[in-house]
Amino acid sequence: MSEENRTRDEALKANIHVHSQLANTGEYNKSPHFRPENQDKVRKIILRLLGDRKKGAQTKAIDFGCGTGFIIHMIRDLFTEVHGVDITADMMKQVDLSSGNVFLHESLAEKTKFADGTFDFATAYSFMDHLFNYRDFLKEAHRVLKPGGIFY
């Protein structure tokens, strides 16, 4: 195993460990972005990005680094399907799946199993700073977005 792969694997393990602890102690959901005023601000940005796109049309969204569902909670009423991707199962256990259109995938964001051009909308909110190589992730986000898709 190369030193870069070993370092990458160590970073992934550390990321999972830290985020599992934050999720299991409830500290993660006390982050500033969960404040109502911040949620309102992000929701307005998303609505502005979507513009005139038909709400409720057959559309799919993906939330990379979905964590406990911060973005998923805000967009599940705007899309037919919302897919969350994260490497930390303990975070995803807290995602509200009650709407019936939310699907979770324990996976690296840089390497998903989705087909090219699957999604109309993709998010990576407060996430990219956790990546070992953001370029690989951006290529993946571009790959799974439909032409003209939106990345936030």
Is the pLDDT at 2 greater than 90? The verdict is no
Q: Residue-wise over 31-70: b if at least 16 C-beta within 10 A, else e?
A: eeeeeeeeeeebeeebeeebeeeeeeeebbbbbbbbbbbb
Task: At 113, list the tokens.
Answer: 């199993």
| Per-residue model confidence as pLDDT tens digits over 12-66 | 898 899 999 989 998 888 888 889 999 999 999 999 999 887 665 779 999 999 9
Number of other residues whose CB lies within 10 A of the CB of residue 124: 23
How far is 29 from 94, CA to CA, in rounded Å? Answer: 10
Q: Is the pTM of this model over 0.95?
A: no
